[in-house]
Every structure is written in structure tokens, then in C-alpha cells.
Amino acid sequence: MAGTDSGTTGANGGQDRPIVIIGASLGGAKAAEELREAGYRGGIVLIGEEHERPYERPPLSKGYLQGKTPREKIYVHPPQWYGEQDVTLRLGTAVASIDPAGHTVTLADDGRIEYHKLLLTTGSVPRRLPVPGADQDGVLYLRRVEDSDRIRAALRPGARIAVVGAGWIGLEVAAAAREAGAEVTVLEALELPLLRVLGREVAQVFADLHRAHGVDLRFGVTVAELTGDGTAVNGVRLGDGTTVAADAVVVGIGISPATGLAEAAGLEVDNGIKTDQQLRTSDPDVFAAGDAANAYHPLFGRHIRVEHWANAVNQPRTAARAMLGQPDAVYDRVPYFFTDQYDLGAEYVGYVEPDGYDQVVFRGDPATREFVAFWLSGGRVRAGMNVNVWDVTDPIRELVRSGRVVDTKALADPGVPLGELAEL
């Protein structure tokens, strides 16, 4: 295939060295899939610490956690796919170090694998709660499928669940807990949920949503200690001395990119593994994608790191083609994510930081939970979020990509098709 590398000769002159992917995740599996679809016939080794074959993580706080999505549906590929595609899948295998100069990966069991190209899809790790009592039984985090299993077991009718952190994970777990009949208290340091992500105007919608479903929301609070009975957690002591009784505490205070291997290998790391627009790191034969990658985005003219499913699906495809030498392999997709909470479904397209917009425009009434919100800067749409309004992500994406100044009155008018605004 034109523009691809057969894989028989590495950039360092070695023969028959495989492409190695560290991180048997959604991203790692999608990279392997793209390599084969692009015509690469060399070896592929996919290494993961977990014993599960690659799976998708969004169901862990949504359908799978709620018992609506069967376990088999979360996996990226059926088990036979890896053999059929001649992908060597090394599960339950930790990587100890990377030697870019020697093009080798050393495993925790002292095994060594030489590589032609290397892709890091190492993902991220949950931030731990740094307070006394946080190591007790019943203190739960959500990242892996077994974490979702443990949380689901705790979501019983009448159970008292405390959720620390009102981000996406915290709110989705709170929704699942309420639907299971549990009593839920959400503890958040800021004045509203998702405040840094959505801003006050849209964050209020999610506060109202959870209150309407019986969640006890407590804002502006700090956690001082997790109390216990000697065997397991039984409450959360707040900074003001009050205690929230809890049979389980779910902590969702954010994630950190898993950059330890990259940093130890001498790769450039800054809020993730820094890459160019082709997902290439500071070493020309090492690439990174997904949660761990802080990639240069040509549309925004800066490095950004996105912690969502769409990046894990799409970035590795670009990295795979870039590893095969395709010069047009550039990652310039507009970021996208989605959430499901109770009867609210939402999709968000674009990228804007807390200080990156000067106006929020609503199309529809937020009080009805059926609307589209747009974040603008200088009259240009930087991001849009459709809430219980469907089939509008494409024109929102085009509005973001175009960078054109829009008529805000037309933007707010449901009678003006978004497609027309995107095509002006």
C-alpha cells in the first residue's frame, strides 16, 4: 500500500521488529485495528497490565454500572479477533521501562521486546483522596471494570452512598445510585457541579437535575477525614466538623495522565506526553494517544489533552497511520464527549477553558432540559452542548471548526437551522 511501511525494517535498521503498543485499552486496540486496515503486515504486540482484553470505559459509569449493558458488550473486539489479526496480546503484563535509544521495552518480569515503532496508550489513573481513612474498605474509585463491579455491588436500595467530587464520573455514579434506590450525598468543593467544565450557566442545569432526583448536593465543602468502624468506612467528616454517614464512598476527583514510563524514558512530558499533530513524541519512533497525550491541535493552535472516549477511539487511528509514514496523518478532530444521567442525555462538541469564552447563548430553555448551549469568544462558537436535542452535533462541529463570527440572535433562534449558520 502506498505510503505505508511493510514493518520488516525498523528505522534503526533492525529486521522484523514489531510495532509495540503499551496500553491494552480502547486506544491500543483501535491502533492495532487501524494498522491492519492500513495494510501493515508486520508484527503487533499489545501489552496491558489488566487481565481483561481491551474494553470501553464509558459504560463503566453508565449502562454497565446500571446493569443495563451486559459485560460482553463493553469489549472492543471479540476474543478471537486478536488471533485472526495476528496481534500478540500480552495481558496481565506490566512494563518496567522503555529504552528509546535501544528501541526496547523491558517488562516487569525482566522480559525484553524490541520494537520498530512504539505507541503509548497508557491512559490515566484516578487521583487519590489525600485524607486520613482513605485506605479503608468501602472507599471506591472508578477506572477499571472491576471497580465498576464493586461500586455496582454497593448500590443497593436504602444504601447510603457519599460521592466525593461533582465531575462527570461523580454525577454519573450518583445518577446510577439513585436509580438503584440508594440515598446519595454529593460533596463538592466548588459552588456548582462541573463548574470548571461548563461554567455557571450550564452547571446549574446539572445541579437542578440531581436535586430533582433526590440527591443531597453539598457545595463549598472540604473533606477532612473518612471515618470507619475498624473494618470499613462509615462516613465522611467535613472541614466544618459535620459528618455524612455512608455505607460506601465513591471518590471522583479527577484523573492524572499515566506518564511515568515516558518521563523515565526521557520523553518530553508536560500535563501528559507532549506530541506533535501526528501524535509523535520528542522521540521520532515513539507516539502517544488518548488520555496520556498532550497533543498539538492545529485547529486550536496549541497543545491540548482531552480525557474522553472519542479521543481514545480516534487519536490512535491517526497515530497508527503516522507510524506507517503517511504524511497526511494529522489529528485535527474537534473534541467530543457525551453523558447520560437519569432522563438527560447530552453531547458536547468543541474545546473551551474556563477563561476562554465571554458569552453563553442558549437555543431553547435550560429549565426544560431540552436545549443547546453555545460558548462563544469574540462572537465565534468555541463549543456547543446539545441536551436532549439530537442530530445537531455535525453543524455544531462545523461552527466550531469554521471559526467564523455568528449572529447570536440567529444562533439562539430554534427556527434557524444550525446547518445554515454553519454554511454561511
pLDDT at 424: 61
Judged against a pLDDT cut of 60, whether residue 129 lies above it is answered with yes
Judged against a pLDDT cut of 80, whether residue 91 lies above it is answered with yes
- For residue 172, give the C-alpha cell: 454519573
* Residue 293 pLDDT level (bands cut at 50, 70, 90): very high
Name the strand (E) or helix (H) holding 160. strand 160-164
Vertex 395: Cα angle to 393 and 401 (nearest 5): 100
Q: How far apart are CA 350 and CA 322, in angstroms?
A: 24
Q: What is the dihedral sign for C-alpha 267, 273, 276, 278?
A: positive
Q: How far apart are CA 182 and CA 162, in angstroms?
A: 10
* Residue 307 pLDDT level (bands cut at 50, 70, 90): very high
Mean pLDDT of 55-77: 97
Percentage of the chain with pLDDT > 90?
A: 93
pLDDT at 422: 80
pLDDT at 7: 35
- Alpha helices by DSSP H, listed for 239-308, are 260-264
For strand 302-304 and strand 293-297, is the pairing parallel, antiparallel, or unpaired?
antiparallel
CB 34 within 8 A of CB 314: no
pLDDT at 3: 34
In DSSP notation, 90-140 reads E-S--EEEEETTTTEEEETTS-EEE-SEEEE---EEEPP--STTTTSBTEE
CB 221 within 8 A of CB 205: no
| Model confidence pLDDT, tens digit, residues 325-349 | 999 999 999 999 999 999 999 999 9
CB 356 within 8 A of CB 328: no
Computed over every residue of the chain, the mean pLDDT equals 94
Q: How far apart are CA 236 and CA 244, in angstroms?
A: 5
Nearest partner of 168 among 87, 41, 255, judged by Cα: 255
| Model confidence pLDDT, tens digit, residues 25-35 | 999 999 999 99
- E strand map for 289-402: 293-297, 302-304, 336-341, 344-350, 359-365, 370-377, 380-387
Q: What share of the chain is helix, strand, coil (3-state, %, to 5)?
A: 25, 30, 45
CB 161 within 8 A of CB 182: yes
Phi, psi of 213 (to 5 degrees): -100, 15
Name the strand (E) or helix (H) holding 187. strand 183-188
Nearest partner of 269 among 29, 114, 98, 104, judged by Cα: 98
Locus of grid cell 444521567: 341
Judged against a pLDDT cut of 50, whether residue 5 lies above it is answered with no
| Model confidence pLDDT, tens digit, residues 178-205 | 999 999 999 999 999 999 999 999 999 9
Judged against a pLDDT cut of 60, whether residue 163 lies above it is answered with yes
Judged against a pLDDT cut of 90, whether residue 2 lies above it is answered with no
Mean pLDDT of 284-297: 98
How far does CA 238 lie from the centroid of its chain? 29
Nearest partner of 136 among 222, 226, 224, 252, judged by Cα: 226
* Residue 1 pLDDT level (bands cut at 50, 70, 90): very low
* Residue 16 pLDDT level (bands cut at 50, 70, 90): confident
| Model confidence pLDDT, tens digit, residues 346-373 | 999 999 998 999 999 999 999 999 999 9
* Residue 15 pLDDT level (bands cut at 50, 70, 90): very low
Contacts of 351 (CB under 8 A, 6+ apart): 297, 300, 304, 306, 334, 335, 382, 383, 400
Phi, psi of 373 (to 5 degrees): -110, 140
283-298 exposure pattern, b = at least 16 Cβ within 10 A, e = fewer: bebbbbbbbbbbbbbe
How far does CA 263 lie from the centroid of its chain? 21
Q: How far apart are CA 282 and CA 150, in angstroms?
A: 39
